A and B are shown apart, each in its own frame.
Chain A
């Protein structure tokens, strides 16, 4: 079964501190992993994809197949990073996403 877990519902950090949002998945094939973000009063939007190995807004995420994880990291959090973050998995057969429950990141001044 395909499943995405995000163990933290809420993560609070101070501005300038490192942040790591955890994501674990279960999938028997080769998954494609994504991070979506939803800022206050805005729509859900793509943050980054594991296959592009990119850094967006200072965030990076590495797919660890051994640990079945795709944690999102940023070395120095900014107040504008405060948002809801969703980890999502897309399988090779279908075109749909399986989303995790989300983690609310709150960056304190």
Chain B
């Protein structure tokens, strides 16, 4: 089992552009959460998807949107990129019935906005 896989690993974008990050959850997991981790800080919750719907959302603007596909994989889209969007974006998966056991995290996508 490869666990949670994220792509790409690194990305450089220009201010104002749009970006799509991808995540494949661990086998058997049906819920995907996205986190933003700025340098020197802990991960911050962006949103969570379950059954192809956004289930919960953190304090992030509408420029951040997502999608979950029938195979449980997920995408994170960010529009009109700002310099402040530069961060490590983490995907975490879980099974809705055992979320209390914690999440499995991916290695992340390092986004740099220039």
Contacts and interface: CB of A to CB of B under 8 A. Distances in A.
Nearest to A104: B40
Contacts of B105: 43-45
Interface residues of B, number: 29
A46 B102 contact: yes
Contacts of B3: 43
Given A43-B105, A97-B103, A100-B42, 11 more contacts: A36-B102, A43-B106, A43-B108, A44-B43, A44-B90, A45-B104, A86-B42, A95-B31, A95-B33, A97-B43, A99-B42
- Interface class of chain B by DSSP: mixed
| Residues of A in contact with B, size category | 20 to 34
B43 A49 contact: no
Interface stretch (B11-19, B67-75, B76-84, B93-101): B93-101
Interface in A18-66: 32, 34, 36, 43-46, 49, 51
Nearest to A38: B105
B94 A95 contact: yes
Nearest to A4: B42
A83 interface: no
B58 interface: yes
Given A44-B105, A51-B100, A95 B48 contact: yes
B108 A101 contact: no
A100 B41 CA distance: 8
